[in-house]
Structure 1
Amino acid sequence: MKILFAVKALDDISGGAERVLCQVASGLAARGHDVQVLSFDAPGGEAFYPLDARVVRVCLGIGRVKERATLREILLRMKALRRFVVREKPDVVVGFMHSMFVPAAWALIGSGVPVIASEHTVPSYYQSRIFEFFLVLAGFPFYRRYVVLSDKIRQTYPKVFQEKILSLPNPVFIPEFVADPAGEGLGRKVLLSVGRLHPLKDQGVLVQAFARLAADFPDWDLKIVGEGEMRGDLEALVVQERLEDRVFLPGAIKDISAQYRAAQIFVLPSRYEGFGLATAEAMAHGLPVVGFADCPGTNELITDGVDGVLVSGEDRVSALVSVLRRLMEDTALRVSFGEKGRDSVVFYGLDSVLDRWEELIQPPPRRLSSA
């Protein structure tokens, strides 16, 4: 099949959804599909995540992709997208995230090319973005399917839309070599967190928790991998807590697998996740994982007391301190959680998820006439 993946931007963007797009597009190209990836990046750039050489990139270079688009830019993008699709005639267009699938659905009305909407967040994300959610729902008549990351998320949508909604998880890289949660013989042990530096990721809580633990665990460090708008605030907090030599913010890193393998505990303090890709990847690398019980996405991946811990409590910092202290002290528990976590994410392996993508992009069967 000829498949067009469309996303607002890929160059220098280290988000989870962008990584999934590159994995799925590359995987389908490797299976023999004709795959193109369209974005509004300027021509000549390079995607942060690798794409298979058989994937054709199309960069339309319209507008400021790292800022909120103006109405004029949106209309120009819709016009250019429609022109490209009419010329190339893909069998299906897959729009990643509402910044792309909403305008794509409206732009391609009457083109004869179906649009699949791939959503990577949860409805609660739109609580302060009511108009954006209205546009998402208004596009439902024009999506062939609307893809979310879990059945639990699907059930949070109004029932009138649920028949068109399909749950399809993100693919998770299952590595051959895994982490060493025990960390015995290592000079330093690492608490690792991976994610965009954003208020909803709540990494400040993790820094505050580590500040209370640092003196009791002098051989442990904290590493927060990712980039984003909260960098300045987090750096200031690290200085305030006098942890410059114990807390590290290396930015976005392409070889994220090496970071998982070098860690002993993974912590994601997010307030919400669409899927919790970083948590699933940490589990695949054999790491014990810690997240918050009230975080959608995270609380679907972690089985509390089996492969990790779901933190609960009104005082998020104190509750997290208690859980981390227990894991940092108990080597056997870290190893046990890591082993069981790896077993629990096999379902999300790339081949399994690609099988489901191939089912998704197939046209629906034609109904036979009753003649």
Structure 2
Amino acid sequence: MKIVYTHQVCLHYKIPFLRLLKSNHGHDVFGIFGQSHWKQSKFRSVSDIPDIHYQLLPTIDLYLPYRKRYAHVFWNPTLKRTLQTIQPDVVITGPSNFPNNSAIASYCNKYNIPYIWHGLGSMYSTDSIVRKFMNKRVRKFIQGAAGGLAFNTDSKRYYVEKYDVDSCSIQIAPNVVDTEKVYSDRILYSEQVAHLKKELNLEGCKVILFVGAIDPVKKLDVLLEAFKKIKFEGNYKTKLLIVGDGTLTSKMKDLCGELGITDSVVFVGKKIIDVNLYYMLGDVFVMPGLGGLAISHAMAHGLPVITAPADGTEKDIIQDGINGFLLDNGQGAEAIAMYLTQLLNDDELLKKMSNSARHSIEKTFNIKNTVSIFDKLVSQVALSR
């Protein structure tokens, strides 16, 4: 079966998903991606995707006025012509990627080709400015789809309530990291962990880990405040390992000095290729702000997670008090410090929650399961043509 997967950019974590969809299920997968040059976006298309047919299309960034603000949308003017050349059996896309979806709907309706959307919904129950601007068109596009895939339970509820979609037509397919690579890298890097711990002066310490962009939405300052509260508590040595970079890196390093914790906080910068090695150094993972894939990534390594509200996936994946702790809106450094103290003071609890975190990923929230969900829906809609 010939499948087109299209998105405004090709994100690096989507590549393993596309490759598995091809190799494990025998589909001929084509990736069609844009090349946005929007300066405010941290997302850029990967330029090389082994084993997958892909095209990076010319992209026009549009800024549409909406209530004294501007909605930023991406447009690939050659998308429809590209679809006509490929002649797919099924198209998969995001639900609010306009005006591209107008071209997709036009093509699919003309040639009786089913399309499927895969979407996050609305975080914190607020719509993006783009979705508000295009709301009627989004509704029409979603209702005209052969099926839908929501990232999590909250996402599914959003689409059902907002766009009057039959809940039976929506499956939940969580956005996940390449868990197969996590498992293979844990073997690959097993002999390097001790050396890196020594190099970073983490030997004999319990390590609190943060992985992510150091920007305002991640609220790293809240974690630093929490770390200060626990630094001198308990009968253990502890260090905070920060993996990532961003606009607030210098400011966060200065804050460490102000809080008197510089000697116990290690900044190693952004890691991509060998990021799994750094996850292997941690004992507990904390996401004090808006998180995403890092949460399931940490749990795949057997790290209990303390996280603030994110995109909704954390509510599906984390059983509060079993494999991690969910912070309520408004909870900050005090709550994080309390949960950290609870975990770091009790080795038996830490081990138990670590095993539960790893089991959650192995059982449900892994890349093979997500690909299987996609494959099942794709096969169903293709047969119903």
Counterpart position of 1:305: 321
Residue correspondence of structure 1 range 37-186 to structure 2 within 5 A: 37-41=31-35, 51=49, 53-63=50-60, 69-70=62-63, 77-96=75-94, 98=96, 101-111=97-107, 112=111, 113-124=113-124, 126-127=126-127, 129=129, 131-132=132-133, 134=135, 136-159=138-161, 160-163=164-167, 164-172=169-177, 173=179, 175=183, 177=186, 186=203
Shift of 1:118: 1.6
Is 2:220 aligned against 1:203?
Answer: yes
Matched residue SS, 1:54: coil
Provide the rounded CA distance (Å) in 1 between the counterparts of 2:52 and 2:310. 39
Shift of 1:96: 4.4
Shift of 1:106: 0.7
- For 1:147, the aligned partner's letter is L
Residue correspondence of structure 1 range 1-371 to structure 2 within 5 A: 1-10=1-10, 18-31=11-24, 32-41=26-35, 51=49, 53-63=50-60, 69-70=62-63, 77-96=75-94, 98=96, 101-111=97-107, 112=111, 113-124=113-124, 126-127=126-127, 129=129, 131-132=132-133, 134=135, 136-159=138-161, 160-163=164-167, 164-172=169-177, 173=179, 175=183, 177=186, 186-216=203-233, 219-231=237-249, 233-245=251-263, 246-248=265-267, 250-271=269-290, 276-292=292-308, 296-312=312-328, 314-345=330-361, 346-362=363-379, 363-366=381-384
Q: Deviations over 1:215-239 (max 9, x none)?
A: 4478322223334454455344334
Matched residue SS, 2:242: strand
Provide the rounded CA distance (Å) in 2 between the counterparts of 1:193 and 1:121. 26
Counterpart position of 2:40: none
Q: How has the CA–CA distance of structure 1 residues 88 and 296 changed in structure 2, closer, same or farther, with 3 Å as cutoff?
A: closer
Q: Deviations over 1:94-153 (max 9, x none)?
A: 22474xx33332112331343322213535364463625725334323433232112343
Give ranges in structure 2 of 5+ residues lacking alignment.
37-43, 65-71
Equivalent pair of 1:40/1:59 in contact (CA under 8 Å)? yes
Matched residue SS, 1:170: coil
- For 1:192, the aligned partner's letter is L
CA RMSD, Structure 1 to Structure 2 (Å): 3.6
Provide the rounded CA distance (Å) in 1 between the counterparts of 2:95 and 2:238. 37
Shift of 1:40: 2.0
Equivalent pair of 2:32/2:57 in contact (CA under 8 Å)? yes
TM-score normalised by length of structure 1 = 0.79
Shift of 1:252: 4.3
Give ranges in structure 1 of 5+ residues lacking alignment.
11-17
Provide the rounded CA distance (Å) in 1 between the counterparts of 2:327 and 2:124. 20
Report the identity percentage: 23
Matched residue SS, 1:303: coil
Q: How has the CA–CA distance of structure 1 residues 157 and 28 changed in structure 2, closer, same or farther, with 3 Å as cutoff?
A: closer
Q: How many residues align?
A: 346
Shift of 1:264: 0.9
Provide the rounded CA distance (Å) in 2 between the counterparts of 1:242 and 1:250. 21
Matched residue SS, 2:78: helix
Q: Deviations over 1:74-104 (max 9, x none)?
A: 9993421111111221222222474xx3333
Q: How has the CA–CA distance of structure 1 residues 8 and 281 changed in structure 2, closer, same or farther, with 3 Å as cutoff?
A: same
Provide the rounded CA distance (Å) in 2 between the counterparts of 1:191 and 1:50. 34
Q: How has the CA–CA distance of structure 1 residues 110 and 299 changed in structure 2, closer, same or farther, with 3 Å as cutoff?
A: closer
Provide the rounded CA distance (Å) in 1 between the counterparts of 2:134 and 2:250. 30
Provide the rounded CA distance (Å) in 2 between the counterparts of 1:85 and 1:212. 56
- For 1:94, the aligned partner's letter is I
Q: Deviations over 1:152-184 (max 9, x none)?
A: 43123343124443211234505254899xx9x
